[in-house]
Structure 1
Amino acid sequence: MQIAIDLPSDLVAFQGAADTRQELRTSYALWLFQRERVTLAKAAEVAGVSLYEFMSLCKSNQIPVIDMSRDELTAELEGLGKA
């Protein structure tokens, strides 16, 4: 599906159509993921990048990929050691 939006021509000319398109896709994917509307994998698909590239984008934008506190993670890891 495609959605068309009108942007100022000087903005597109400054960045180029391909770069603008990718930046919009990436920004939207990050926005969706941060608001928990899509999974990490779906957000990577929306952005048009690999899962690992999207995780790197999240890190660059200070968006946590794992939504777990340090105590929760420690308890989870301790539980794995007991299994």
Structure 2
Amino acid sequence: MQIAIDLPDDFVFLQGASQVQKEIRISYALWLFQQARVTLAKAAELADMDIYEFMSVCKSNQVPTLDISPEELAQELTDFRTA
């Protein structure tokens, strides 16, 4: 599916249409992921990246990829070691 967005010509001219399209896809994927509307894998797919590239983009944009507190993580690690 395609969605058309009207942007000023000079804005697109400065960066090129493909660069603007890429940035919009990444920004939308980041937003959806941050709002917990899609999974990390689905957001990476939307951004046209593999999951590791998208995780790097998340890090650059200060978007956490794990939704777990330090205490929960410590407990998980403790449980893993004792299993």
TM-score band, normalised by shorter chain: over 0.9
Q: TM-score, normalised by structure 1?
A: 0.98
**Partner AA of 2:28 in structure 1:** Y
> How many Å separate the matches in 2 of 1:81 and 1:48?
36
- Number of residue pairs matched by the alignment: 83
The C-alpha deviation readout for 1:25-75, integer Å capped at 9, x for no partner, is 000000000000000000000000110000000000000000111111000
Q: TM-score, normalised by structure 2?
A: 0.98
**Partner AA of 2:39 in structure 1:** T
Structure 2: gaps spanning 5 or more residues: none
| 3-state SS of 2:4 partner | coil
What RMSD over aligned residues (CA atoms) do the two structures have, in Å?
Answer: 0.4
| 3-state SS of 2:55 partner | helix
How far residue 82 of structure 1 moved from its aligned partner, in angstroms, is 1.2
| 3-state SS of 2:75 partner | helix
